[in-house]
Amino acid sequence: MFFGKLFKKDHRHYLAQAGKHLAGERYADARIDFLEALKRCPADAAADQLEITQGLNRAGDRLGELNLQEGEHSLLAGELGKAHDHFTLAGELAVDETIRDTARKGLERVSQQASSPGGTAVRQAAKAHGGSSCASCKDTGSHHSTDGEIPEPNLSEEDHFSLLIQPLPGDLPRRYAALGPEFARAYLLIHDGKDNEAFPVLEKMLVSAENDIVIYELALIMFRNGQIHECEGLLNRALSINPGNPACYHALVHLLAGADRFPEAIDTVKHMIDQGILADQAQFMLGELYEATGDEAAAVDTWSRALELPSVARSAAERLVPILGGQGRTEEAKYLTKRYLKGCC
The pLDDT profile of the chain, 345 residues, written as one tens digit per residue, is: 444 444 446 788 888 888 888 888 888 888 888 888 888 888 777 888 888 888 888 998 899 898 888 888 877 877 788 888 888 888 888 888 888 888 888 888 888 777 654 443 333 333 333 333 443 333 333 333 334 444 444 567 887 788 778 777 788 889 999 999 999 999 999 888 889 999 999 999 998 889 999 999 999 999 988 899 999 999 999 999 999 999 999 899 989 998 999 999 999 999 999 999 989 989 999 999 999 999 999 999 999 999 999 888 988 998 999 999 999 999 999 999 999 887 443
Q: Domain residue spans in the chain?
A: 2-129, 156-259, 271-345
- For residue 142, CA distances in Å to 34, 113, 127, 146, 166 come to 27, 18, 4, 9, 18
pLDDT value at residue 288: 92
Annotation: CATH topology of 156-259: 1.25.40
Give, as one character, the DSSP assignment of residue 25: T
Name the architecture of domain 271-345. Alpha Horseshoe (1.25)
Q: For residue 281, give the H/E element and its range.
A: helix 279-292
Q: Give me the sign of the Cα torsion angle 160, 27, 89, 58.
A: positive
Domains 156-259 and 271-345 share a fold: yes
